Amino acid sequence: MFGVMNRFLSNATNRIDAKGRVSVPALFRAVLAQRGVQELYCLQDLVFPAISVGGPDLLERYERQIATADPFSPEANRMSLLVHGGGVFMRLDAEGRLMVTDFIRDFTGIGTDVTFVGRSDHFQLWQPQAFHEAQAAAREGRLSMSRPQ
């Protein structure tokens, strides 16, 4: 019964309005609601120019990684800088929209539209063009981020 609806799947592109808001696709909101997620945790992807969005569990997964290191080591310090300092909490408004901040725009190159991409246990925000190119590259088995010429 819940085999499909409890994961973030497929993708959709929505427009950012004059106030910088964009609607999260209803399917993704349904998954969030089913998981009881109200506070969204956003983090820069480690490989692609995309922002990962998920519930508190997404943050906790990264924190477990940090916890395996000596808390005063440079490694733990660097990871915390990324995970805690680079992460952002967000809430959706009553209509299920989120604000596209400069933090998101700068890292993704997003301008007027956002592509929401399901990643099973979280979803991502992409600049539409960048997403299509990354998908095409992945289809051809090219894993590098370098642009085709």
Return residues touching a second copy (CB under 8 A).
3-5, 7-11, 27, 39, 41, 44-48, 56, 59, 61-65, 71-72, 74, 77-82, 84-89, 117-120, 124, 131, 134-135, 138-139, 141-143, 147-149
Judged by CB under 7 A, does residue 9 bind DNA?
no
35 binds, options a second copy, DNA, none, Cβ within 5 to 8 A by partner type: none
C-alpha 71, offset from chain centre: 27
14 binds, options DNA, a second copy, none, Cβ within 5 to 8 A by partner type: DNA
CB nearer a second copy, residue 95 or residue 146 = 146
Judged by CB under 7 A, does residue 18 bind DNA?
yes
Judged by CB under 7 A, does residue 4 bind DNA?
no
Place of tokens 């600049």: 127
Q: Least distance from C-beta 128 to DNA, angstroms?
A: 12
Task: Look up residue 52 and give its two tokens.
Answer: 């990962």
CB nearer DNA, residue 26 or residue 145 = 26
Exposure string over 14-24, b if 16+ CB within 10 A, otherwise e: eebeeeebbbb
Handedness of CA 110, 53, 9, 24 (dihedral sign): negative
Q: Give the list of residues 6+ apart from residue 98 with CB closer than 8 angstroms, or none.
A: 21, 22, 24, 40, 90, 91, 92
23 binds, options DNA, a second copy, none, Cβ within 5 to 8 A by partner type: DNA
Residues 116 and 104 sit within 8 Å (Cβ to Cβ):
no
Give 40's strand partners.
90
Applying CB under 7 A, the residues found at the interface with DNA are 12, 14-15, 17-26, 29-30, 91, 93-97, 99, 101
